[in-house]
Structure 1
Amino acid sequence: MTASPEPPAVRHLAAVQDPDPAPNPHATEEQVQAALQDTKLAQVLYHDWEAENYDEKWSISYDRRCIDYAVGRFTAIAPGAPVPYGRALELGCGTGFFLLNLMQGGIASTGSVTDLSPGMVQVALRNARNLGLPVDGRVADAETIPYDDDTFDLVVGHAVLHHIPDVEQALRECLRVLKPGGRLLFAGEPTTVGNFYARWLGRMTWQATTRVTRLPFLSGWRRPQTELDSSSRAAALEAVVDLHTFDPAELERIARSAGAAAVHAHTEEFAAALWGWPVRTFEAAVPEEKLTLRYRLFMYRAWLGLSWLDEKLLRRVVPREFFYNVMITGIKPR
């Protein structure tokens, strides 16, 4: 007797329960060399290497500061959206920064996270447990999302599209797993112009900081050479994992081509990026204990002030493609 096929809900549950690969935070030199020719392997190795320290590196938290940031990005591009959404998916979740803070801010009730990096999924789920948030997760390729059609009310991502080889295919998959009328929203993507000046500022700051801290009277401000070498190797892989920059109008075209309706791109951070990238690079080059709470508060308030200047003044006179970050949103047609 032929067994009847499993219903979609059972198939989905079985998929969620399949064991995911283990993180690999200590890639061998052979693996790194192979990753230089294989972008998806590079994504896994780089992000597994970063996972446990990623929140610290980027000053990510799950308190009011980052809740306000995440909700602010959402409301900037989707004002008046019908929140809270029921079930949300974060694509390329990293440590869960965007979705977990959106959930804490009342944008979504339950969540799922996916990432190509097992290490990132592991940290994101741990962060969700620590926050008491109802979140499940899978190691998954953004171009083949392992969930059924019409599953989610909202799909989000932060700084993920520029890592995906086929962005249009990934957006098409997002629309597939969205319910009709559901929304996709991606933030934190680099513009082409913004990426140029951010990388230039970062390189100059790194070189200046690492050279100056060689002076004997500043040796206490220098990270151990092994840590600096490790950061340099990571930067080499970063050049492999960062695949795209975006012109806002072109990103809108890609989203429409994928099938999204009501597509809109919004850019932010011009003065804030010109300030922020040297600051982030400096912080990566000096010992953690040198970055006092007073210093961190000063830098954060400066960033807030420059972001206010961007929104209230510079947005009116600077073309949108000159801003560093681009966000994109769209709706799955009913």
Structure 2
Amino acid sequence: MTSTDSRSDGAAGAAPASDVAAGAAPAPNPHATAEQVEAARHDTKLAQVLYHDWEAETYDEKWSISYDKRCVDYARDLFDVTVPYEEQHKLPYDRALELGCGSGFFLLNLMQAGVARRGSVTDLSPGMVKVAVRNGENLGLEVDGRVADAEGIPYDDDTFDLVVGHAVLHHIPDVELSLREVVRVLKPGGRFVFAGEPTNAGENYARPLSTLTWKAVTNVTRLPGLSGWRRPQTELDESSRAAALEAVVDLHTFSPGDLERMARNAGAVEVLTATTEFTAAMLGWPLRTLEAAVPPGRLGWGYAKFAFNSWITLSWIDENLWSRVVPKSWYYNVMITGVKPTAD
């Protein structure tokens, strides 16, 4: 949204299989205290809840997520890059699940793109499930939500035709166990698609660029005459607490080979990986960090247009030029797909 993006899973403090629509889900906690943050340093799943509850109501704004043509096309492109071409002519799937749904970015936009008819969303964060279900309702989509652990998905065997996730696997303590659960809840012949996972190499350039940008912007905006470009200190302090949690919730990076091996060990067949964003990530992370460091709306429409068009241009160059000479594992995002075996 999760990531992932998109959006961690796990179930610390959450009632298993809580149905949000029934009002039984735990209440979101959008403002973690310093004491809670400290406790979360020693409890990964608690950190997942606190961090993603903190982000839930502003997550779409933070990551420029929308549910219009821009993000519908983006989500569908990720699906099409990952899934074999011949499979794309069998759409739509009847029932799909998004694991670690975050605000619902991946599944809701895939449903709008004609990939699935009905959807279910799960996340460890009550706040994220609440937002994802609300987004689905606002779009007129048939979606239900549960607060749930990705290492113990609260659905019966052979329930779904498709399971998807975006930026979620790197938040899960036992990725292979979660993939076993994914295979279990898929119907025979059903497919999973996970996108937006950070690679080992990509994390080495993306996170340092983001950290450097944050330090530069928050220091420069202390200068006389630039105070209008600085967020209130209380907001910056809260962002710093969230950043401390982010270091706890981001558990893994992957090579494409890592994910392929874990998926096969989990029982999947027809396993494939693809990667996206090389120079686009080198630009995208500093730009997103800049947006988070200044007051909302301060950068204006001109900046937003420049940022988006620049990212689109670099993504095209990455796909059509750099992919010919740069190793697959150097790209920032890795996607994986696989299928549940059918009975002989």
TM-score normalised by length of structure 2: 0.92
Asked whether the 8 Å contact 1:272–1:310 carries over to 2, the reply is yes
Match of 1:53 among 58, 73, 78: 58
Matched with 1:144 is: 152
Could you say if the C-alpha distance between residues 315 and 130 of structure 1 is closer, same or farther in structure 2, counting changes exceeding 3 Å?
same
Matched with 1:34 is: 39
- The alpha carbon displacement at 1:174 in A equals 0.4
Matched with 2:108 is: 100
Q: Distance in 2 between matches of 1:104 and 1:151?
A: 21
- The alpha carbon displacement at 1:83 in A equals 1.0
Match of 1:74 among 79, 87, 96: 79
Could you say if the C-alpha distance between residues 16 and 119 of structure 1 is closer, same or farther in structure 2, counting changes exceeding 3 Å?
closer
List alignment gaps of at least 5 residues for structure 2. 1-16
List alignment gaps of at least 5 residues for structure 1. 1-11
Match of 1:307 among 312, 315, 333: 315
Q: Distance in 1 between matches of 2:35 and 2:293?
A: 27
Give the percent of matched residue pairs that are identical in Structure 1 and Structure 2: 69
- The alpha carbon displacement at 1:18 in A equals 7.7
- The alpha carbon displacement at 1:42 in A equals 0.3
Could you say if the C-alpha distance between residues 43 and 70 of structure 1 is closer, same or farther in structure 2, counting changes exceeding 3 Å?
same
Matched with 1:262 is: 270
Matched with 1:233 is: 241
Trace 1:215-234 onto structure 2 (pairs within 5 A): 215-234=223-242
Q: Does 1:252 align with 2:225?
A: no
Q: Distance in 2 between matches of 1:274 and 1:14?
A: 40
Q: Distance in 2 between matches of 1:187 and 1:14?
A: 26
Q: What value does the CA root-mean-square deviation take over the aligned residues?
A: 1.5
**Could you list the per-position Cα deviations for residues 254-285 of structure 1 after superposition, in whole angstroms to 9, with x for gaps in the alignment?**
11110100001101100100111111111111
Could you say if the C-alpha distance between residues 123 and 13 of structure 1 is closer, same or farther in structure 2, counting changes exceeding 3 Å?
closer
- The alpha carbon displacement at 1:291 in A equals 2.1
- The alpha carbon displacement at 1:182 in A equals 0.3
Q: Distance in 1 between matches of 2:301 and 2:98?
A: 31
Q: After TM superposition, where is structure 1 displaced by more than 6 Å over at least 4 residues in a row?
A: 12-16
Q: Does 1:289 align with 2:294?
A: no
- Decide which structure has greater helix share: 1
**Could you list the per-position Cα deviations for residues 106-127 of structure 1 after superposition, in whole angstroms to 9, with x for gaps in the alignment?**
0000000000000000000000
Give the letter for the 1:143 counterpart.
E
**Could you list the per-position Cα deviations for residues 164-199 of structure 1 after superposition, in whole angstroms to 9, with x for gaps in the alignment?**
000001000000000000001000000011011101
* Mean CA deviation greater in 286-295 or 137-146: 286-295
Asked whether the 8 Å contact 2:19–2:25 carries over to 1, the reply is no
Could you say if the C-alpha distance between residues 18 and 166 of structure 1 is closer, same or farther in structure 2, counting changes exceeding 3 Å?
farther
Asked whether the 8 Å contact 1:15–1:146 carries over to 2, the reply is no
Q: Which has the higher contact order (CA 8 A, sep 6+)?
A: 2
* Mean CA deviation greater in 23-32 or 266-275: 23-32
> Based on CA coordinates, which of the two structures has the bigger radius of gyration?
1
Matched with 1:64 is: 69
